[in-house]
C-alpha cells in the first residue's frame, strides 16, 4: 500500500463513487449534478476516477476545496501529473495505490481489487448506474459489499 498526499483525509467521512462504464445520458447529467452537490457540501469523495464519467466527476470536484481520494488500479505515479501535484500541495488530495511497484498497468483484475478497496474504506457508496452484466455488478454480487445509493 502506497500513499501520496495528505493521509489525514482518510479521517473524513468518505463517499465511494463507482459507476459502470456505459451510462445512459439521463444518468450522466444527474451524476454531474451530484458531483457539484458533493463539492458544494465539502464531502470527501473516493474513487478510481478512471472511466469517462469518473474523470468528469473528478473534474467537477477539483473546482472545489473539499478533500478527494484517488485510488489507482496500478502502482503509484513515478511522475505526478501537474494537476494532481497542485492538489497534493494544497493538502486536499490523497492518492492511494493498493499495489506494489510491479503492477505498472491497470487491468480488469486490478480494477476489481481497487473497487473492492474503495468499498472497504468508504463510509457509503454511490453508484449512479450499474450495468446488469458489467464487472461492477459481478463485484457487488460476489462480495458482501456495503449497501449503496443510486438515482
Domains and CATH numbers, the chain: 2-149 (3.40.50.450)
d(C-alpha 68, C-alpha 17), whole Å: 11
Burial of 10 (0-12, 13-18, 19+ CB in 10 A): middle
Mean pLDDT across the chain: 91
- Cβ–Cβ < 8 Å for 140, 130: yes
| Residue-level pLDDT at 98 | 92
State percent of the chain over pLDDT 70: 96
Q: Report the run of H or E that residue 95 belongs to, with start and end.
A: strand 93-97
Reduce the DSSP state of residue 45 to 3 states and report it.
Answer: strand
| Residue-level pLDDT at 147 | 65
d(C-alpha 147, C-alpha 107), whole Å: 25
Q: Per DSSP, what are the bridge partners of residue 65?
A: none
- Cβ–Cβ < 8 Å for 88, 5: yes
Which residues in the chain show pLDDT less than 70? 143-147, 151
| Residue-level pLDDT at 63 | 96
Count of CB atoms situated within 10 Å of the CB of 82 = 8
| Residue-level pLDDT at 115 | 93
pLDDT tens, residue by residue, 70-110: 999 999 988 899 999 999 999 999 999 998 888 888 888 89
Amino acid at each position: 500500500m502506497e500513499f501520496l498526499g495528505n493521509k489525514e483525509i482518510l479521517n473524513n467521512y468518505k463517499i465511494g463513487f463507482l459507476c459502470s462504464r456505459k451510462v445512459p445520458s439521463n444518468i450522466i447529467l444527474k451524476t454531474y449534478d451530484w458531483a457539484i452537490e458533493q463539492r458544494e457540501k465539502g464531502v470527501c469523495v473516493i474513487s478510481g476516477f478512471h472511466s469517462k464519467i469518473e474523470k468528469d466527476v473528478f473534474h467537477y470536484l477539483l473546482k472545489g476545496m473539499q478533500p478527494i481520494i484517488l485510488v489507482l488500479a496500478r502502482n503509484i505515479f513515478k511522475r505526478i501529473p501537474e494537476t494532481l501535484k497542485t492538489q497534493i500541495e494544497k493538502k486536499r488530495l490523497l492518492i492511494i495505490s493498493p499495489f506494489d511497484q510491479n503492477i505498472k498497468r491497470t487491468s480488469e483484475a486490478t480494477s476489481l481489487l481497487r473497487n473492492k478497496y474503495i468499498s472497504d474504506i468508504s463510509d457509503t457508496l454511490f453508484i449512479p448506474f450499474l450495468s446488469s452484466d458489467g464487472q461492477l455488478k459481478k463485484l457487488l454480487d460476489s462480495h458482501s459489499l456495503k449497501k449503496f445509493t443510486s438515482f
